[in-house]
Amino acid sequence: MKQRQLGSHGPHVSALGLGCMGMSASYGVPDDAESLRTLDRAAGLGVTLLDTADAYGRGANEEFLGRWLRSRTAAQRDELVLSTKFGLRHDAATGRVNKVDTSAAWVREACHASLRRLGTDRIDLFSMHRRDPAVPVEETVGAMAGLVAAGTVRHLGLSEVSPQTLRRAHATHPISAVQLEYSLFTRDVVEGEMLATCRELGIGIVAYSPLGRGMLTGALASRDDLTAEDARRRWPRFAEENIDRNLRLVQAVRTTADSLGCTPAQAVLAWLLAQGEDIVPIPGTKRRGYLEENAAAAGIELGPEQAARLRAAVPDGAVSGERYPLAALERLGH
């Protein structure tokens, strides 16, 4: 697997990382045995960036990764870049996120709780998942910087913030990466001021949901393919009134991918990789077959004309529905 650096201040990681959320939460029923085999296969393929968060399954995903990490030697652990996030808190009764907490006290408490669940002595990339606008980002990043000084965190990141917040945070302590949704379906979040700001400051971009939450793979034929437990049933782009239009766009992507001699998933990941060496997609999966398919995209080099054809398959404004439900949208971009 080729390597990329997360910004001028950050770690070297595999060109494609692995999003681990779906192994424990959101996307159907977990399959621990297959997920453990998938993590083993990821390590064998040279995938070094593993992404999780304390919010995924209310800590369950960190605990699951911790189980797998215990099977690794110290040398194997050192090859990994373990990324986790903090800031989303849950209602005890419903289990749903009901609060964003980025206070200095919670930064420290959340970090130590993540370390316990992961069973490790340090977090390689520790990121603010969402920001409480009532808390100065300087307070939050200052507390995060204290964890770097203590040796429990190596690098700092943010997720879904505004360019202005990113500048303030970076002035407090160097930020290595910002995690943002970026795919052929969601380009406006990154392209423009945010991308320019990241490149000016030397900050890498970790692109989450690079496969449009699975829709861009072409594996989904209709909303009926989603299990009752699948969280995507609550998301606007998968709603009855939107999904058919979006699946027609996926068919256009498939046609272009066929002409390139690869799968739709490989085409859209290769497209992201072609947007710059500072962009690292983290497609999520709990299946070895999908992992291997995704990893092969790192070996596909698209020329400008090929990348332009893929972009044209999903014209600006063509995607139907917001990328998150309203309550989650309100937590973005602060």
Q: Which domains does the chain have, with CATH numbers?
A: 3-329 (3.20.20.100)
Q: How confident is the model at residue 229, as a pLDDT?
A: 84
Which residues are CB-neighbours of 11 under 8 A, at least 6 positions away? 5, 81, 124, 125, 154, 155, 176
pLDDT at position 90 is 85
Distance (Å, whole) CA 92 – CA 108: 21
Query: What single DSSP character describes residue 275?
Result: T
Residue with tokens 């302590």: 173
The pLDDT of residue 189 is 96
| Active site (catalytic) residues | 56
Name which of 38, 45, 54 is nearest 16 in CA terms: 45
Nearest to 190 by CA among 255, 272, 76, 259: 272
d(CA 133, CA 38): 38
Q: What is the pLDDT of residue 104?
A: 98
Both tokens assigned to 172: 């407090």
**Burial of residue 157 (number of CB atoms within 10 Å: 0-12, 13-18, 19+):** buried
**What's the pLDDT at 64?**
97
H or E element that contains 84 = strand 81-86
pLDDT at 300: 96
pLDDT at 113: 97
pLDDT for the residue numbered 92: 76
**Predicted TM-score of the model (pTM):** 0.96
What is the pairing mode between strands 88-90 and 97-100? antiparallel
Question: What integer pLDDT is reported at residue 11 of this predicted model?
Answer: 97
Which parts of the chain have pLDDT scores under 70? none
